[in-house]
Amino acid sequence: MDLIMGNWKMHATHLEAIQMMQKLFYRLNPDDYARVEVVVAPPFTSLRSVQTVIEADKMPIGLGAQNVHWESEGAFTGEVSPGMLAKLSVSYVIVGHSERRAMFGDTDEVVNRKAKAVLAAEMRPVVCVGESLEQREAGEALEVVAGQLAGSLAGISIDDPDQIVVAYEPVWAIGTGRSATPDDAAEVTDAIRADLVDRWGEAGEGVRILYGGSVNQGNIAGFMAKRTIDGALVGGASLDPDKFAGVIRYWI
Ligand code: PGA
- Average of pLDDT values for 37-56? 98
Beta bridge partners, 5, equal 39, 233
Q: Which residue numbers are catalytic?
A: 97, 169
Does residue 237 surpass a pLDDT of 90? yes
Residue with CA nearest ligand 1 atom 3: 235
pLDDT band at 177 (very low <50, low <70, confident <90, very high): confident
Residue 175 CA: which ligand 1 atom is closest? Answer: 5
Instruction: Give the CA diameter of the chain.
Output: 51
Distance CA 135, CA 129 (A): 13
Per-residue pLDDT reduced to its tens digit, 213-227? 999 999 999 999 999
Q: What pLDDT sits at residue 178?
A: 84
Residues with CB under 6 A from ligand 1: 7, 169, 174-175, 212-215, 233-237
- Average of pLDDT values for 89-93? 98
What's the burial of 160, exposed, middle or buried (CB within 10 Å: 0-12/13-18/19+)?
exposed
Per-residue pLDDT reduced to its tens digit, 104-128? 999 999 999 999 999 999 999 999 9
Distance from the CA of 131 to the center of ligand 1, in angstroms? 14
Return the SS3 of 212.
Answer: strand
CB 21 within 8 A of CB 54: yes
Distance CA 241, CA 59 (A): 14
Distance from the CA of 83 to the center of ligand 1, in angstroms? 27
Q: What pLDDT sits at residue 240?
A: 98
- Average of pLDDT values for 143-148? 98
Identify which of 174, 215, 217, 243 to mutate to test ligand 1's pocket (most ligand atoms within 8 A of the CB): 174
Does residue 241 surpass a pLDDT of 90? yes
Return the SS3 of 105.
Answer: coil
Residues 68-99: b if buried by 16+ CB within 10 A, e if exposed: bbbeeeeeeeeebbbebbbebbbbbbbbbbbb
Distance from the CA of 6 to the center of ligand 1, in angstroms? 9
At residue 37, φ and ψ (nearest 5 deg) are -80, 125
Percent of the chain with pLDDT over 70: 100
3-state helix, strand, coil in the chain (%, to 5): 50, 15, 35
* Prediction pTM value: 0.97
The chain-wide mean pLDDT, for the chain, equals 97
3-class secondary structure for 158-182? CCCHHHCEEEECCHHHCCCCCCCCH
Does residue 24 surpass a pLDDT of 90? yes
The residue among 128, 126, 60, 121 whose CA lies nearest residue 88 is 121
- Average of pLDDT values for 23-29? 98
Q: What pLDDT sits at residue 175?
A: 85
Distance from the CA of 87 to the center of ligand 1, in angstroms? 27
The residue among 244, 247, 183, 238 whose CA lies nearest residue 218 is 247
Task: Give, in order, the Cα–Cα distances in Å from 217 to each of 56, 171, 186, 236, 251.
Answer: 29, 20, 19, 11, 10
Per-residue pLDDT reduced to its tens digit, 48-85? 999 999 999 999 999 999 999 999 999 999 999 999 99
